[in-house]
Structure 1
């Protein structure tokens, strides 16, 4: 298995055809085809099903794709690191963050970084919480910002935090005139919420059940930014985490507190025993400070109590406040 074979495979997966991949790589179609065939022979399974000029990735190709992409990303980062060592430049900062932070508070924190601590290269990836943690453990990210639960012995915890979720409604919705939106205001209304049943969605469901509220329909999505965009059209009301609500400003959306505390729990993590650069450490502190300033009801928890914090339910009855 060679790097050039993996590069061609990723190009075909991205472009959707041998012809398009050849143009992308400035290679001939025959070269691309040969390298794909050599890779298939090396790994022992077919990557594409061929039907005349059309190709379709096999299920094995889809499973292989993320690992190949991660490997080549690591190779690229290694080459970049070698250049910084040679030139004695500060090392790049690699950040993996859930979309709530990748689109909001992390960019705001980067904008406030002192020039002498900001390296030439910064890599910010928006990924699900599980992938963010795996990026840190695989050492392809210096640190990650992820929602809870997160439990792994190979992690150092730089902070555990909590802030209540909010409602997002269109400006012309009658509920936008209210200072606080009641859970009962959601009865017989369309509701937009998160799809992952093991994170924020679980707490939203608990709150709806406790309030005995049944929305007329529920639309779920994988990012709060999608939920805000939907809410801005007046299609439905969204319950979203505060990082996106207060970190990304959208037109035609009113953000209002809820009368029930649905906690959004998150933390910042790095690989255990991996020293972080001064730039990465400063960026972590900036993310925390900006979050504390912009998230109403911000609470910092003891980093040593991650299991207890992850068990916080709606209403926050298990919360142990350390500071805000």
Structure 2
């Protein structure tokens, strides 16, 4: 059985680099090691895990299915190790600890930069953009100091500082007949191709409930896990979108017109930190700056207390 001590860091670095570079030769150059050394490290790792990691085809290596599955964990471990190295150096030089922020792509790109711009930053900042579920997990595991994520956000290991509420909007291609309207009704979208978020457990579920209730049937749907992708598809004329407001107002895109919806489809998000961990002064300032930035960016923004979480979730989940 493979033990932790059988896995050498140099082997893992060689493995990750070969997958990224596509060949032992390119990996050797990137790692500044000889080609035979990298080949030996890969062979030793294969012996440790007990199965082949690459299919050899001449000078090139093709990762096996097992290698691709393993790679995501190896990459995560190497990033964590790199952070340990950096932190050790910072402690040695008495530097400020970086503020680590985990956020969904919409909040990381649409809201966070405006909040950071309002601060007199003295600390290094690390921003990790990932899914809502991964963002919450990063806070639960204390891998990040602050999390920005859509609801739900109730967990015993998470402290919820505040909930933000705003309204979803419609994104239209420039030149679309509806772009001249000051406000758009959902009924106008009947028969139109809809560019929609992929995750059914977040905003997508709320959108489908409202469309079903109003008997608005889009012609067909393009699905994606990124609000930026949604805007790009709208600009290309592939369809229209009912979009969360952070990306819509925070990342305006030429060729895309944003219009308010007559019907209210609320969008909820929150700011979270690890439960029981004392926040640095920089992190505390950022929590406040995010609220200010949201108020400046989002029309009809409301700040809700953490105690409102259960009520909001009942509202989201109601038929």
Normalised TM-score (structure 1) = 0.91
Backbone CA RMSD of aligned residues: 1.9
- Given that residues 263 and 312 in structure 1 are in contact (C-alpha distance below 8 angstroms), is that contact kept between their aligned partners in structure 2? no
In the other structure, the counterpart of 2:233 is 230
**Match for 1:87 among 72, 93, 99?**
93
**Match for 2:288 among 264, 268, 285?**
285
Q: Deviations over 1:69-88 (max 9, x none)?
A: 22222211122222222222
Q: Where do residues 190-229 of structure 1 align in structure 2 (5 Å cutoff)? A: 190-229=193-232
- Aligned-residue offset at 1:102: 1.4
In the other structure, the counterpart of 1:70 is 76
Q: Deviations over 1:243-275 (max 9, x none)?
A: 101111211111111122222221111111122
**Match for 1:44 among 50, 59, 65?**
50
Give the Cα separation in 2 of the matches to 1:105 and 1:39: 43
Say if 2:106 is the partner of 1:100: yes
Say if 2:168 is the partner of 1:169: no
Say if 2:253 is the partner of 1:250: yes
In the other structure, the counterpart of 1:263 is 266
In the other structure, the counterpart of 1:111 is 117
**Match for 1:31 among 34, 37, 40?**
37
SS of aligned partner of 1:219 = strand
- Given that residues 301 and 309 in structure 1 are in contact (C-alpha distance below 8 angstroms), is that contact kept between their aligned partners in structure 2? no
In the other structure, the counterpart of 2:143 is 140
Where in structure 2 are there 5+ consecutive unaligned residues?
1-6
- Aligned-residue offset at 1:152: 2.3
**Match for 2:244 among 238, 241, 244?**
241
Give the Cα separation in 1 of the matches to 2:46 and 2:15: 10
| Residues 295-304 or 49-58, more deviating | 49-58
Give the Cα separation in 1 of the matches to 2:72 and 2:48: 18
Give the Cα separation in 1 of the matches to 2:149 and 2:310: 15
In the other structure, the counterpart of 1:321 is none
Q: Deviations over 1:73-114 (max 9, x none)?
A: 221112222222222221111111100011121112122211
- Given that residues 265 and 310 in structure 1 are in contact (C-alpha distance below 8 angstroms), is that contact kept between their aligned partners in structure 2? no
- Given that residues 262 and 313 in structure 1 are in contact (C-alpha distance below 8 angstroms), is that contact kept between their aligned partners in structure 2? no
Give the Cα separation in 2 of the matches to 1:274 and 1:9: 35
| Residues 200-209 or 258-267, more deviating | 258-267
| Residues 56-65 or 85-94, more deviating | 56-65
- Aligned-residue offset at 1:238: 1.2
Give the Cα separation in 1 of the matches to 2:203 and 2:265: 9
Where in structure 1 are there 5+ consecutive unaligned residues?
319-324
Give the Cα separation in 2 of the matches to 1:306 and 1:51: 55
